[in-house]
Amino acid sequence: MVDEARQAFQEESTELLTDMEEALLLLENEPDNQDAINAVFRAAHTIKGTGGVFGFDDVEAFTHIAENVLDEIRAGSIAISGDLIAVLLKSRDHMGLLVEAAVEDGKLSDEEKKNGEILVIELKNFLGIEEAKTDEKMSSADVEQVKIENTCQEWIIKLSFGENVLRDGMDPLSFLRYLTKQGDIVDISTITSRIPNIKDLDPESCFLDLVVTFQSDTSTKDDIEKVFEFVKDDCELEVVGPISRDEKNIEAIEELSDDISPLGTMLIETNIVNNGDLENILSEQEKIRKSQDIAIPKLGEMLVKKGIVEKNIVDAALNKQEVNKRKAASRQLRVDADKLDELINLVGELVISGATTNVLAQKSGDRNLLETVSSMSHLVEEIRDSALRLRMVQIGETFNRFQRVVRDVSRDLGKDIRLELNGGETELDKMVVEKIGDPLMHLVRNAMDHGIEVSEEREKNNKETYGTLKLNAYHDSGSIVIQVIDDGRGLDADKIFAKAIEKGIIDKSASLTEKEIFRLIFEAGFSTAAEITNLSGRGVGMDVVKKNIESLRGNVDVDSVTGEGTTINIRLPLTLAIIDGFLVEVDESTYVIPLDMVEECIELNEEGQELTVQNNYVNLRGKVLPIMHLRTVFESSSETTKRENIVVVQVAGQTAGLVVDELLGEFQTVIKPLGKIFQNLECISGSTILGSGDVAAILDVPGLVQKATRQIAGINPRHLHSDKPMTQVTLH
């Protein structure tokens, strides 16, 4: 259980450190962003507090120094600069190392320890930059605040630990020991009403109820509550502070609903502030925003400054907001990824069993059975969709990691590069997100090193002095498209072609389109870099990128304009588990086409059959439709059937037709990976098990479409044969 508690601490710390990094990167561009400053401080404060509860002294000691610097930043005593952000980012990384070492009972290497010591010195240097405020410089409000802080305040803390606290590896006394670092525990009394009879007493259950009298010069209610934050879900906590004249207003705020409401709304609902005063303050905020390029004072600060509301009332309202946020977060449930994978596998087996049941029901012809099976199939489909949604996550978290990468790499390269993120809310399978991180990392670093020029070169070419790198994500035809776009120098097709010949990748006589030439950058050992850098130039990496993407049943393509930039398009399936498929038959073999890629189905008449064999394309409503005979692709030896059909598919804006013998209809497809023997098969991306127990191959539609398109390159639509109209088949 202790290990589980430590793991939970590590997971929480990882999330907090991620938030801290994002906020620090935001502060570099918006140094007056108070929300970002508070977010960084909260992250450090929480990690320090929780580390102290667990007795992780190294985590607590280092984070305390960083927290002091952040506290001075909040107070306005230390100005935010690029050097400060750099040190804080390094401190954030070191905190991550300390947390990992503490949780795993490990130790830092000598180099890591030395780096930590250097960071401590750098942080302390920042603490010595600004002199502390003297009484002469303080305003009357500051002096009054100091008086309040120097007055010893008494708090009553009521604690009721849950029965499972000990089983979860928590030591209630460790929280009290950590509390003494903020002040003095004057008295502790116990309440025994929950303790059962000795016969029913379970030694692993906790029935500890305490009333603690606590004194502190500086602690606030929020500080005390944060001591018990790590066990907040397993205990009931009530902190009662000094009684003030505003107690009734505070009680009114605490009795509000659990909705996360804005500060102004909360104050109006409790009749503490009237609409007129609030509108005047909001109007004043808007004037400041329009007239001055400075941080806008917060609503609570302005209400206190104007004397409309007391500070403790604003604090109580903000605390209520925070409590409501925690309650909302507590409704979320963390599930182990392995358990989720097991659920998806079981759902997959359920889909296969359902298909088998459907086949048997069709053979029986029993109407009641058919109706029941139809209803069951509908429920299985809903279960499948719900299970897959559990594994869908937004790609924004992956995108956000690159903010730090772009910042650090651009500085190393001496380039001014800005990152733009779009489509972060786009969802896809968690397994895909985990595996796409490394290929994206290589593409981003490659674009920054090879693609984007230095400021002087960009200025000579009448471009902005700073380069722009974009990461986009969006859904298209049942897939997700991820784009890595830079506005750099672009790819030189002639240079790539010459280098490919030099490397022996292609023959001198090869005739390639520009797109095919661009794809050569993904060949093993290919590189046009004049010199090797820490980032690229060795001719390794891009081929691995392609292999990793293809292992996810995806594909990668390149578009580029010399002097304007390069766009790399990655197309991936939304999920690796279960899809809706469309069954077709070719020479008594069954194949599956992902249904999201199917546009329509067309019957091919005898005259059309002859023309397609001759030309590899048909006239589809005045447009060239390249086609691919699956009989030819799979080298079928039997004779062509009298009646054939074309399944029109679309991928990445390209349309093609697949000629098949028979259309069998829709089918819920559980994707089974190919074995090692079959991994290099062309035109096949996976397999599935049919209701009859037979195995069907899943077609690699993107590969087939590209192949069909290349076959008719150069065909002019005006030279089309006047084929007879084709019969369209509607899908159900």
Quick one: pLDDT at residue 482?
92
Pick 2-132's CATH classification: 1.10.530.10, 1.25.40.10, 1.20.120.160, 3.40.50.720. Answer: 1.20.120.160
Q: What is the mean pLDDT of the chain?
A: 78
Distance CA(321)–CA(262), nearest Å, equals 8
What pLDDT shows up at residue 130?
A: 40
Domain layout of the chain by residue ranges: 2-132, 144-330, 337-391, 393-573, 578-729
Does residue 497 have a pLDDT over 80? yes
**608 or 574: which leads in pLDDT:** 574
Residue 222 pLDDT? 80
Fold category of 393-573 in CATH: Heat Shock Protein 90 (3.30.565)
Segment 275-291, tens digit of pLDDT = 777 777 777 777 776 66
Task: Give percent of the chain above pLDDT 70.
Answer: 82
Token match 């190919």: residue? 674
Integer Cα distance of 706 and 515 in angstroms: 11
Question: For 35-56, what is the mean pLDDT?
Answer: 83
pLDDT at 485: 93
CATH of domain 144-330: 3.30.70.60
Round to whole Å and give the CA distance between 289 and 382: 49
H helix runs in 106-197, sequence order: 110-127, 140-149, 172-179
Both tokens of 259, joined, read 């909705």
pLDDT of residue 641: 66
Rounded average pLDDT over 666-695: 76
* Band of residue 300 on the pLDDT scale cut at 50, 70, 90: confident
Q: How does pLDDT run across 148-161, given as a tens digit for each residue?
A: 443 457 788 888 88
Q: Quick check: 346 pLDDT over 80? A: yes
Query: In this model, does residue 470 exceed pLDDT 90?
Result: yes
Residue at 630: amino acid letter = L
pLDDT value at 530 more than 60: no
**pLDDT at residue 729, rounded to an integer:** 44
Of 133 and 325, more confident: 325
Amino acid sitting at position 412: D
Mean pLDDT (whole number) for 516-545: 67
pLDDT tens digits for 591-607?
Answer: 998 888 888 888 876 65
Contact 102, 13 (CB under 8 A): no
> Percent of the chain at pLDDT above 90?
4
Cα dihedral 76, 82, 85, 87 sign: negative
Tokens representing 441 are 């990392």
Q: Which of 125-139, 235-249, 668-682 has the lowest mean pLDDT?
A: 125-139
The answer to whether 579 and 595 are in contact (CB under 8 A) is yes
DSSP H or E run through 571: strand 565-573
DSSP state of 563: T
Comparing 2-16, 206-220, 480-494, which segment has the lowest mean pLDDT?
Answer: 2-16
CATH superfamily of 578-729: SH3 Domains (2.30.30.40)
The per-residue pLDDT for range 559-577, each reduced to its tens digit, is: 999 889 999 999 888 777 7
What average pLDDT does this structure show over 89-115? 87
**Rounded Cα–Cα distance for residues 684 and 120 (Å):** 57
Rounded to the nearest 10°, the torsion over CA 505, 511, 516, 521 is 30
Contacts 24+ apart (CB under 8 A), 23-29: 24/85, 24/88, 24/89, 24/92, 25/85, 25/89, 25/403, 25/404, 25/407, 27/80, 27/85, 28/80, 28/82, 28/85, 28/407
